[in-house]
Amino acid sequence: MLKRYNIILYSTNKIVNSCRYVSQSMLKSTVNEKTGIATVIINKPPVNCISLELLNKINTEINKLQKDNIRGMILTSVRSLQKVFCGGLDIKEFYNPNPDRLAKYLTNLQDTWLSLYMTSFPTVSVINGHSLGGGCLIAMCCDYRVMVGPDYTIGLNETKLGVVPPKWFQDTMAAIIGHRKAEVSVIAGKTYTTDEALQIGLVDESSPDIDNAYKKGIQFLNSFEKISPWAFKMTKNISRQPISQWLIDNKQKDLEFVFNYMQTPSVQKHLGLYLQSLKK
Ligand SMILES: CCCCCC/C=C\CC(=O)SCCNC(=O)CCNC(=O)[C@H](O)C(C)(C)COP(=O)(O)OP(=O)(O)OC[C@H]1O[C@@H](n2cnc3c(N)ncnc32)[C@H](O)[C@@H]1OP(=O)(O)O
């Protein structure tokens, strides 16, 4: 019988005393051989925003862990960033884009979402800082979220940039907090503090510090010790398949919609102003 492991997507640098260690720039991945738990740490200063290169690394690593039959995964962000889990998709990928690179970026984003959303092993995001736009999306892909607080924010804020969160972004949130709350949230580009996110169920637990948040993540993964990996995988698949199948069936249409609107003058103007406001 295959050994099964879990993943926590987490950002830190002193977590595991372990076995396999993959350190690529931008992404560190460690698998604790004793427990079979992987810790994946995003490490792209200053704010872990997701460029095409980082996107590729995340997708490659998840697919590798999938083949390794890990027991679970924690996804997090490097501690030295201190207050950011993930600043979202790299807006520079969308502003005055090279069309070939933009198409590649959008395709890779679809593929990475599918990989992370549909892992056959349990996943936890330890959200140790702000988590906005695409940062919120990757946290929401995990099976469980522990957010450090109280001063961080999380949410799908795309409309504030003048862009549209695709159906699968919105569906991912609706599956967690319900359709009505998700609709209100994405239309307004709303962001939530840790306490607010806990209250609406966008995160499952909060923690005043990272170590404690990580422990909670491990506890969640350990709760699957007596669950058959096959039963876990099949049940999760049934639960998430309707949302993922929509993207599989509509990949090209979804890509063309974003690819076209992203390059219109009015959207470009909005993005330019937003980037400018960040610099101030
Ligand atoms: C099929 C695909 C469909 C795509 C449709 C969806 C499109 C987009 C989804 C998104 O994810 S859009 C991005 C959403 N994220 C944000 O709005 C976060 C913006 N950033 C912040 O609010 C803050 O930076 C922060 C994360 C709270 C951190 O604040 P801090 O004070 O620590 O850092 P700053 O000084 O603000 O930033 C440092 C440096 O980083 C640049 N930067 C920040 N975020 C981004 C980003 N998302 N993309 C690119 N660059 C970013 C910021 O401009 C600063 O740059 P410099 O001034 O140092 O050059």
Q: Is 197 in the pocket of ligand 1 (CB under 6 A)?
A: no
Gap between the Cα atoms of 81 and 28, Å rounded: 14
The answer to the question of residue 236 being in a domain is yes
Q: Is 166 in the pocket of ligand 1 (CB under 6 A)?
A: yes
- Looking at residue 1, its pLDDT comes to 33
Q: Write the residue with the smallest CA distance to atom 18 of ligand 1.
A: 87
- Work out which ligand 1 atom sits closest to the CA atom of 90: 48
Task: Quote the DSSP letter at residue 50.
Answer: B
Q: Is 93 a catalytic residue?
A: no
Gap between the Cα atoms of 107 and 268, Å rounded: 20
- Which residues, listed in sequence order, are joined to residue 41 by a DSSP beta bridge? 76
Which amino acid, 66?
Q
The CB density around residue 81, as the number of other CB atoms within 10 Å, is 21
- Looking at residue 280, its pLDDT comes to 63
- Which residues, listed in sequence order, are joined to residue 185 by a DSSP beta bridge? none
**CA-CA distances (angstroms) from residue 253 to 15, 138, 166, 257?**
41, 22, 11, 6
Instruction: Please identify every stretch of the chain with a pLDDT value under 50, giving residue numbers as ranges.
Output: 1-5, 10-18
Q: Is 158 a catalytic residue?
A: yes
Q: 150: Cβ–Cβ under 8 A, 6 or more apart, which residues?
A: 193, 194, 195, 206, 208
- Work out which ligand 1 atom sits closest to the CA atom of 166: 3
pLDDT digits (tens, 9 = 90+) for 18-36: 455 555 589 999 999 999 9
Q: Write the residue with the smallest CA distance to atom 23 of ligand 1.
A: 87
- Looking at residue 81, its pLDDT comes to 87
The answer to the question of residue 9 being in a domain is no
- Joined together, the tokens standing for residue 41 give 């740490």
Of the residues 43, 157, 221, 255, which is catalytic?
157
- Looking at residue 95, its pLDDT comes to 98
The answer to the question of residue 14 being in a domain is no
Instruction: Please give the span between the terminal C-alpha atoms of the chain, in angstroms, as a whole number.
Output: 56
The answer to the question of residue 15 being in a domain is no
The answer to the question of residue 4 being in a domain is no
Residue positions counted in the chain: 280
Which amino acid, 180?
R
Distance of alpha carbon 190 from its chain centroid, rounded? 17
Q: Is 124 in the pocket of ligand 1 (CB under 6 A)?
A: no
Q: Is 47 in the pocket of ligand 1 (CB under 6 A)?
A: yes
Burial 131-145 (b: 16+ CB within 10 A, else e): bbbbbbbbbbbbbbb
- Looking at residue 72, its pLDDT comes to 98
The answer to the question of residue 8 being in a domain is no
Here the ipTM equals 0.98
The answer to the question of residue 22 being in a domain is no
What domain count does the chain have? 1
Q: Is 89 a catalytic residue?
A: yes
- Work out which ligand 1 atom sits closest to the CA atom of 254: 1
The predicted model scores a pTM of 0.93
- Its domain, for residue 98, covers 27-278
Gap between the Cα atoms of 57 and 43, Å rounded: 11
Gap between the Cα atoms of 48 and 139, Å rounded: 13
pLDDT digits (tens, 9 = 90+) for 129-180: 999 999 999 999 999 999 999 999 999 999 999 999 999 999 999 999 999 9
Please tell me whether the peptide bond between 150 and the residue prior to it is cis, using omega within 30 degrees of 0.
Answer: yes
Of the residues 6, 54, 135, 158, which is catalytic?
158
Q: Is 55 in the pocket of ligand 1 (CB under 6 A)?
A: no
- Work out which ligand 1 atom sits closest to the CA atom of 164: 5
The answer to the question of residue 232 being in a domain is yes
